[in-house]
Amino acid sequence: MKLLKDKIVQDGKVLSDQVLKVDSFLNHQIDPPLMQAIGEEFAERFKDAGITKILTLESSGIAPSMMAGLILGVPVIFARKRKSLTLIDHLYTASVHSFTKNETNDISVSKDFVTSEDTVLLIDDFLANGQAVLGLLDIIEQAGAKLAGVGIVIEKGFQPGGALIREQDIRVESLANIASLENGQVTFFEGALSK
Ligand code: 5GP
């Protein structure tokens, strides 16, 4: 997706060979027209998949998921990372290890919102080692729902998550796939783009 890749090159900050900071349009400040274009792209790629719900993880997955949900005309559910006072019981939970934060957290989704009747599209902001997606897949499995596929805004293809998910025969669509962040440069899999 050219618009997204141009934005990454223009505004993304390479923090290390492993980590890209996109606080100015996705992870802190949000760029609504870009989110709309991302939502349209996910909706186009998954329009024939019979999706009934989108499942994401708070907080950075919400904006792109919301736009895709608006266009596909389906509800968006975000898994919670903290237990809320009103979300005590009746939950699907899974453990997710974050390599960026070096901590393991439980994520949870109410049993009211994902059921065996659903065909679910998973969306997340980044795919790195795949742990967040694996946690969401675990919840879909517990619910007995059908998985349509996984939509990722930015995949870091040099990390193992993409292969881990795809080798389970799961459809993964990433809108930008980064081949390398070495030397402070962002290089995508389809041809070189640098900063
Ligand atoms: P995974 O579970 O695939 O290792 O990592 C996915 C999660 O870690 C994403 O939801 C995202 O919040 C965070 N993450 C992983 N790598 C990066 C990165 O390079 N930049 C940012 N901003 N977040 C990342």
pLDDT band at 190 (very low <50, low <70, confident <90, very high): confident
Backbone φ and ψ for 192, nearest 5 degrees, come out as -90, 135
- Determine the distance separating the centroid of ligand 1 and the alpha carbon of 130, expressed in angstroms: 9
Total-model pTM:
0.95
Residue 175 sits in a domain of what CATH number? 3.40.50.2020
| Ligand 1 center from residue 100 Cα (angstroms) | 7
Domain annotation covers residue 195: no
* Dihedral angle computed from the Cα positions of residues 96, 129, 177 and 121, in that order, rounded to the nearest 10 degrees: -30
Q: Which residue has its alpha carbon closest to ligand 1 atom 4?
A: 129
* CA distance linking residue 131 with residue 161, whole number of Å: 7
Tell me whether residue 193 is in a domain.
no
pLDDT of residue 31: 98
pLDDT per position as a tens digit, 100-119: 788 898 999 999 999 999 99
How large is the average pLDDT for residues 49-55? Answer: 98
What kind and span of H or E run contains 166? helix 161-166
Q: Please report whether residue 180 resides in a domain.
A: yes
- What one-character-per-residue DSSP string does 36-56 give? HHHHHHHHHHTTTS---EEEE
149 in a structural domain: yes
Q: What is the whole-number distance in angstroms between the Cα of residue 126 and the centre of ligand 1?
A: 5
As for how many domains the chain has, the answer is 1
Is 168 within a domain? Answer: yes
CA distance 92 to 70: 25
- Residue 169 structure tokens: 């025969």
Confirm whether 16 is domain-assigned. Answer: yes
Q: Establish if 41 belongs to a structural domain.
A: yes
Average pLDDT along the chain: 94
| Closest ligand 1 atom to 130 CA | 3
The Cα 25–Cα 35 span in angstroms is: 9
Distance CA 63, CA 78 (A): 10
Mutate which of 13, 20, 126, 131 for ligand 1? The one with the most ligand atoms within 8 Å of its CB, which is 126
Structural domain harbouring 7:
2-82+89-188
